[in-house]
Amino acid sequence: MTASTDIFHATQDNFETDVLEASFTTPVLVDFWAPWCGPCKTLMPMLDRIVTEAKGTVKLAKVNTDEEMALAGSFGIRSLPTVVLFKDGRPVDGFMGAQPEGAVRALLAKHVGAAPAVAEVEEDFDVDPNSEDLATLIDTLQGEIEAHPEKPELKAELADALLRGGALEEAVALLDQLPAEAQDHDATRRARARLGFIQAVEQAPGDAELQTAIAQDAGNLLARYQLGALFLLAGQYAAGMDQFLTILRTDRKFNDDLGRRALIDAFRLVPDQELVGDYRRRMTSLLF
């Protein structure tokens, strides 16, 4: 086993923490293999090399199915090797059998890549997206955009700040102008998450009316989503996420898995990472 912290053995004991929860921060490629499997021995060194070269943008978890039969069975593994990519706590892509290196790299390219650029911008320009001084933040971002027009992610930061300040039309126009390569940035995802919650409550009843509707019908999941969005936008993060968890617990299929999707969007907005970690674990326990 390589000494890299990005490549490790996964077991029933550490899978939830090191794969499912970790995939909210960094995508995790899970290689289901066995010692007797010839194609597995061909594929594994290639995966090691690709993940090592990725320098922290993706991790590799190796599951020995001979030792972890229950874990493999929980994911319906029928053929070896089977490789599954986890992101945001769930499987998003994968393949069975040994694949050429180009195919593996193409799969990762669809899901891995833009986040480091955001971190670099935030470090270079010291722009805090959670700053409460919106006027100063907006002025700072506008200046940085003029100085660095090659950084479209700064426009996404500005759009998010404008949304917080109520300038909906201007923010939407900025987001619509972003090039394709900026769509996967954390700043863009955060702004679009906030926009989604704002749009969800535009035509919704007020707080009191929604709470009355839920008291009369606990299964009114649309009211729960709208109330959760109202709480979240008001900075009542735990109260908002509690509503989304209830939706997830009640009906995974409601509005195309809205409970899970709302929680993931909420995680992008909540500044308290300890609170986010708590709700990620609670969400994961409902998903698996």
Active-site residues, by number, are 37, 40
Peptide bond into 81 cis (omega under 30): yes
Q: What is the residue type of 118? A: V
CA–CA dist 147, 218 (Å, integer): 52
Q: Are strands 28-33 and 7-9 parallel, antiparallel or unpaired?
A: unpaired
User: Is residue 252 a contact partner of residue 262, using CB atoms and an 8 Å limit?
Assistant: no
Question: If you ran DSSP here, which 8-state letter would residue 202 be given?
Answer: T
Question: If you ran DSSP here, which 8-state letter would residue 67 be given?
Answer: T
User: Is residue 221 a contact partner of residue 211, using CB atoms and an 8 Å limit?
Assistant: no
User: Token match 């500005």: residue?
Assistant: 158
Residue 100: what are its φ and ψ, rounded to 5°? -65, 155
H-state helical runs in 31-180: 38-54, 69-74, 101-111, 115-125, 134-147, 153-164, 168-177
3 state SS of 68: coil
CA distances from 213 to 127, 209, 221, 256, 262 (A): 41, 6, 10, 22, 20
CA–CA dist 156, 174 (Å, integer): 7
CA–CA dist 64, 71 (Å, integer): 10
Closest among 253, 241, 281, 208 to 15, alpha carbons compared: 281
